[in-house]
Amino acid sequence: QVQLVESGGGSVQAGGSLRLSCAMYGLTSSLYHTGWFRQAPGGKDREGVASMDSEGLTTYANSAKGRFTISLDNAKNTLYLQMNSLKPEDTAVYYCAVDFRSSSWYSLSANEYKYWGQGTQVTVSS
């Protein structure tokens, strides 16, 4: 059974940094893609922030480029999102997600992911 456990959220002032972690358990294949998503207060949909395929290739939302970095520690089966130069508009609940494919794949679409973490709150004050 795949389980994702997130940590690392919190409150920070604008310009600050946070690193989110997502421990992944029960992965049944090495061909998985991972993603970080966020849902703003009152937001209807989860916005894709960053994604990584099974070969380590990454893609980012325009809002995250140059500020956020997705990475994976294979030895620990832990996914990270390093967030720098945070802005108040980054305030949201952040989720990690994973799913499996028969080939390398990454996606910023929430529809492409079956397994989700519980979410962690990030609050950026001005």
Mean pLDDT score of the chain? 95
pLDDT of res. 89 = 96
Check pLDDT > 90 for residue 102. no
pLDDT of res. 67 = 98
Least confident of 18-22, 27-31, 87-91, 117-121: 27-31
pLDDT of res. 82 = 98
Residue 27: count other Cβ atoms within 10 Å of its Cβ.
15
Specify whether the CB–CB gap between 107 and 33 falls below 8 A: yes
Average pLDDT for residues 19-46, to the nearest whole number?
93
pLDDT of res. 43 = 85
Average pLDDT for residues 56-83, to the nearest whole number?
96
pLDDT of res. 105 = 83
Specify whether the CB–CB gap between 2 and 23 falls below 8 A: no
Average pLDDT for residues 73-96, to the nearest whole number?
97
Measure the CA dihedral 13/17/23/29, to 10°.
130
